[in-house]
Chain A
Amino acid sequence: MGHKSDIKLIVDGKRTDGRELDQLREVEMKVDVVNRANGSAMVRFGNTVAVAAAYGPRELFPKFMQEPQSGILRVRYNMAPFSVDDRKSPGPDRRSTEISKVARLAIEPSLFLEDFPKATIDVFIEILQADGSTRVTGINAASLALADAGMPMRDLVAACSVGKIDGQLVADLNGLEDNFGETDMAIAMQPSKNKLTLMQMDGVLTKTEFDRLFKLATESCKKIYEMQKKVLKETYKRV
């Protein structure tokens, strides 16, 4: 974040990939892509691709981890070694450990965990291709996977990234913008309740800038929510 560079990220009001400032990349969403799992989904934003699978509720071992009054949620975010330019060594590193945790906290408030005491719900997010905004793509996929699995939820979770590049506020950062922009912020929310469940920011923003950026973020999340609703409704329409 915020590497110094000569790259101009915005030229004549358009971004490096031709997008408008508030325009999302091309989005693709599918559910039921891993049939071994109870629920699963694939979400693509431009060249960033995430697959998520949800298992459970299922028995939790070791037993000392069981909560007698409530189920628990475990999330594992992982990047495939071939997902990035410079091959990533397999296995968790500090970054993916942190992202696993914030992703869990982004989703947990939506689940009715009290319906499954002593059990666990496991969500696995694999990033197959990385071009910026992988954690929010992963969270969008996880939310669809949980709905697909028949988990009881208060609302779906929609997530997106926003940022400041070349002094302008933009939505859905690609890899270049993520690396060389001045500020990036990831948010996740329960869109129909207008509740925020994740917020992370790097960079420097004035309060005014923050307010505008935050508004852009919530509006973008609502757009993403509409797409999530559409894929679920279209896939499971009954005749």
Chain B
Amino acid sequence: MMEEKYALELIMKGKRVDGRKFDEFRPIEIIPNIIKNAEGSAQVRFGDTEVIAGVKMKTGTPFADTPNEGILIVNSEFTPLASPDFESGPPGEDAIELSRVVDRGIRESHMVDVEQLVLKPEEKVWAMFVDIHMINHQGNLIDAASIAAVTALHTTKIPKIELAKEGEKIDKILRGEYEKPLPAVHIPITITVGKVGNNLLVDPNLEEEKVLDAKLSIAVREDNTICALQKQGSKELELSDVDKMIELAIRKSAELRELVKEAIKEARKE
């Protein structure tokens, strides 16, 4: 275990604890279809950080303001097994923030064609529940969680369903039998850029996260449009910082997107 002071010293000298460059990610692993009971799932590792996302489909009543669109709900669990700093109980502010940031990246990018998820117009739609479980926290949970959620949704299959007939209440979802893949079109990638002094770095590990002045999470779609932004951390960002951070995020998102595409392709072969 390292003192954060040491990580900070190194960064100010232009180095990182594990020898990476400031714009380098840890080794990334993306494994789709890892949870059999889920309609879609993915396990993602950034170095030793590990998260698992699972997608479960249920039917529901659409929201009043979007009566002909499917529903997306993103939830994250900072499971106490993943870190000595996580406690049991309802999601704290960090878990809630992560859920909402991942949600926005997916929702705002229009990644899923939600109009195709209508079962009975204005009455019944498919609801996609994306649950992200932290397994080992060694920093940069947001980026890992986003990639896990995006990969899981892209490899989700919609189960067959027998809608409830007149007078019946319950629809019968035939889990294990699939209608078609979830209509997922875009691939938004979230890159969190951290700032320490005048240095910008991506994929902060656990010690580095503790010494960041501030960080900015940026969700980028494949056409390089930005779909979501979230600043975190207690210090301010210069306006010029913002520009540089976004440029860096756009550049790195293209690299990570290739890995996600590869994983999705492999999954579809099965």
Using a CB–CB cutoff of 8 Å, the interface residues on chain A facing chain B are 33-37, 40, 47, 51-53, 55, 58, 76, 78, 80-87, 90-92, 122, 124-126, 128-131
30 contacts between A and B (CB under 8 A): A33-B136, A35-B48, A36-B83, A36-B137, A37-B84, A55-B84, A78-B88, A80-B54, A80-B77, A80-B133, A81-B54, A81-B129, A82-B41, A82-B54, A82-B55, A83-B37, A85-B37, A85-B175, A86-B56, A86-B58, A87-B58, A90-B91, A92-B88, A124-B79, A125-B81, A126-B133, A126-B135, A129-B36, A130-B37, A131-B37
CB distance from A130 to the nearest CB of B (A): 7
Q: Contacting A58 at CB < 8 Å: which of B53, B54, B84?
A: B84
Known: A85-B37, A91-B90. A34 touches B77 (CB 8 A): no
What residue in chain A is nearest B54 (Cβ atoms)? Answer: A82
B143 to chain A: which residues have CB within 8 Å? none
Q: Is the CB of A76 within 8 A of B80?
A: yes
- Check B138 for interface membership: any CB of A closer than 8 A: yes
Q: Is the CB of B138 within 8 A of A35?
A: yes
A34 to chain B: which residues have CB within 8 Å? 50, 81-82, 135-136
> Considering only CB atoms and an 8 Å cut-off, how many residues of chain B contact the other chain?
32
What residue in chain B is nearest A81 (Cβ atoms)? Answer: B131
- Interface set, chain B 55-79, CB cutoff 8 A to A: 55-56, 58, 75, 77, 79
What residue in chain A is nearest B80 (Cβ atoms)? Answer: A124
- Check B38 for interface membership: any CB of A closer than 8 A: yes
Give Cα A82 to B38, complex, Å: 6
Q: Is the CB of B82 within 8 A of A87?
A: no
Q: Is the CB of A82 within 8 A of B56?
A: yes
CB distance from A97 to the nearest CB of B (A): 11
Q: Is the CB of B81 within 8 A of A37?
A: yes
Q: Is the CB of B54 within 8 A of A122?
A: no
Known: A36-B136, A80-B131, A128-B133. A90 touches B52 (CB 8 A): no
Q: Contacting A126 at CB < 8 Å: which of B48, B58, B81?
A: B81
B41 to chain A: which residues have CB within 8 Å? 82
- Interface set, chain B 211-255, CB cutoff 8 A to A: none
A35 to chain B: which residues have CB within 8 Å? 48, 136, 138
Given A80-B54, A129-B35: 6 more A-B contacts, CB < 8 Å: A34-B136, A36-B83, A80-B131, A81-B54, A84-B37, A90-B91
Q: Is the CB of B81 within 8 A of A53?
A: yes
Give Cα A119 to B53, complex, Å: 34
CB distance from B140 to the nearest CB of A (A): 14
Give Cα A76 to B77, complex, Å: 14
What residue in chain B is nearest A40 (Cβ atoms)? Answer: B81
Q: Is the CB of A122 within 8 A of B82?
A: no
Give Cα A131 to B37, complex, Å: 9
Using a CB–CB cutoff of 8 Å, the interface residues on chain B facing chain A are 35-38, 41, 48, 50, 52-56, 58, 75, 77, 79-84, 88, 90-91, 129, 131, 133, 135-138, 175
B80 to chain A: which residues have CB within 8 Å? 53, 76, 122, 124
Q: Is the CB of A81 within 8 A of B56?
A: yes
Give Cα A122 to B37, complex, Å: 28
Q: Is the CB of B52 within 8 A of A128?
A: yes
Give Cα A47 to B83, complex, Å: 26
Please indicate which of the listed interface residues A55, A80, A129 has the most CB atoms of chain B within 10 Å of its own CB. A80
CB distance from A104 to the nearest CB of B (A): 13
Q: Is the CB of A36 within 8 A of B138?
A: yes
Give Cα A76 to B87, complex, Å: 11
B75 to chain A: which residues have CB within 8 Å? 81, 90
B135 to chain A: which residues have CB within 8 Å? 33-34, 51, 126
Q: Contacting B131 at CB < 8 Å: which of A52, A90, A124, A131?
A: A90
CB distance from B133 to the nearest CB of A (A): 5
What residue in chain A is nearest B175 (Cβ atoms)? Answer: A85
CB distance from A202 to the nearest CB of B (A): 23
Q: Contacting A87 at CB < 8 Å: which of B50, B53, B56, B90?
A: B56
B81 to chain A: which residues have CB within 8 Å? 34, 37, 40, 51-53, 124-126
CB distance from B139 to the nearest CB of A (A): 10
A81 to chain B: which residues have CB within 8 Å? 54, 56, 75, 77, 129, 131
Q: Is the CB of A82 within 8 A of B136?
A: no
Give Cα A41 to B56, complex, Å: 26
Give Cα A84 to B58, complex, Å: 13
CB distance from A93 to the nearest CB of B (A): 13
B54 to chain A: which residues have CB within 8 Å? 80-83
Give Cα A131 to B38, complex, Å: 12
